[in-house]
Amino acid sequence: MKYKLRFHLGQGENYRHWQVTSPDGTREFYDPEEYIISMENARLHNNCKVAEQIYNGRNKTVCSWIICDRLEVKSLLSYLFSESRPMAGKTQLTYNPRKNPHWLENGSNVDFKSYSRLLTEGDGVFVGVE
């Protein structure tokens, strides 16, 4: 089993938090202003049909997520003061089906692409530099 991560945009106390579903099915939410999430052997997923509908004006619904083998959650403060900062030289991945129905890296479609390491910073996802 793998971990599943997505940005939660549903109404309620976890609005705009990272939602992590563990291999056993439990869900936890992390405030992006307090935590950094590191993912190893990660793959971007996209329900392209739903994303295309959202792009064409339909109401937003869950259509993208990241699956990974290993996941580590760190407090933002511990990350900022650590000697090893894997986000140096990072490349941001973007996803907003209102603007484009695909995961993008430097303007190119990267739906279903795998990465050895991805990291969150705020509400963004970045390619980790080894």
Q: How far apart are CA 79 and CA 23, in angstroms?
A: 25
**Average pLDDT score over the chain:** 92
* Three-state SS at 93: strand
pTM of model > 0.85:
yes
Asked if 4 contacts 21 with a C-beta cutoff of 8 angstroms, the reply is yes
Q: Which two tokens stand for residue 97?
A: 């089906």
In this structure, the number of other CB atoms found within 10 A of the CB of residue 68 comes to: 21
What are the tens digits of pLDDT across the range 2-21?
Answer: 999 999 998 999 999 999 99
Q: Which two tokens stand for residue 119?
A: 């990291």
The whole-number pLDDT of residue 81 equals: 66
Please compute the mean of the pLDDT values over residues 119-129 and round it to a whole number.
91
DSSP state of 61: -
In this structure, the number of other CB atoms found within 10 A of the CB of residue 110 comes to: 18
**Structure confidence at residue 130 as a pLDDT band (50, 70, 90):** low
The whole-number pLDDT of residue 84 equals: 58
